[in-house]
């Protein structure tokens, strides 16, 4: 089912400040940014090999990333795994007893179709399934 790690999502308070570290210290190139209104987030894409780091800054004090930072602080928020068929992947997870936050795919950054698994079923890690066409 899983093809590779698609990206690692990192929740940050200040996207511009955090980008300085990843660009100037780590030497990564910024591939672009995108605002995903539905998720109340601004995303910066930093490719590294055949995966990428996604920096996530909330665009709303009540957005999911802002709530995450309030509860757990800045840091890794999720790991996304690439799948070929997200609908089939969701069904397979459910058949195997995994509770899904998203029972149907939704729009994610970079034009991906995404769905999240509930972290209570994944050893506390927020797992994202990600399909890119």
Q: What is the pLDDT of residues 46-97, one digit of tens each?
A: 999 999 999 999 999 999 999 999 999 999 999 999 999 999 999 999 999 9
pLDDT at 104 over 90: yes
Which domains are seen in the chain, by residue range?
Answer: 2-131 (3.10.180.10)
What number is the average pLDDT over the span 110-128?
96
Of 26, 11, 128, 119, nearest to 72 by C-alpha is 11
Res 25: pLDDT: 98
Task: Assign residue 123 a region (left: φ > 0; alpha: ψ between -120 and 50; beta: otherwise).
Answer: left
Predicted model pTM: 0.94
Q: Where does the chain have alpha helices with state H?
A: 15-20, 64-72, 86-95
Residues 6+ apart with CB under 8 A from 54: 7, 8, 9, 10, 43, 44, 45, 46, 80, 109
* % of the chain exceeding 90 in pLDDT: 98
Phi, psi of 17 (to 5 degrees): -65, -45
pLDDT at 133 over 90: no
Res 71: pLDDT: 96
Of 60, 52, 40, 92, nearest to 117 by C-alpha is 92
């Amino acid at each position: 089912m899983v093809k590779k790690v698609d990206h690692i999502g990192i929740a940050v308070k200040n996207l511009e400040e955090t980008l300085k570290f990843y660009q100037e210290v780590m030497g990564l190139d910024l591939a672009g940014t995108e605002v995903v209104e539905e998720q109340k987030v601004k995303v910066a894409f930093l490719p590294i090999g055949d995966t990428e780091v996604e920096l996530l800054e909330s665009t709303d004090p009540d957005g999911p990333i802002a709530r995450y930072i309030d509860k757990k602080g800045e840091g890794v928020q999720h790991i996304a795994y690439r799948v070929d068929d997200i609908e089939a992947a969701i069904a397979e997870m459910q058949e195997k007893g995994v509770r899904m936050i998203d029972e149907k795919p939704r729009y994610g950054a970079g034009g991906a179709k995404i769905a999240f698994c509930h972290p209570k079923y994944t050893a506390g890690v927020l797992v994202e399934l990600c399909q890119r066409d």
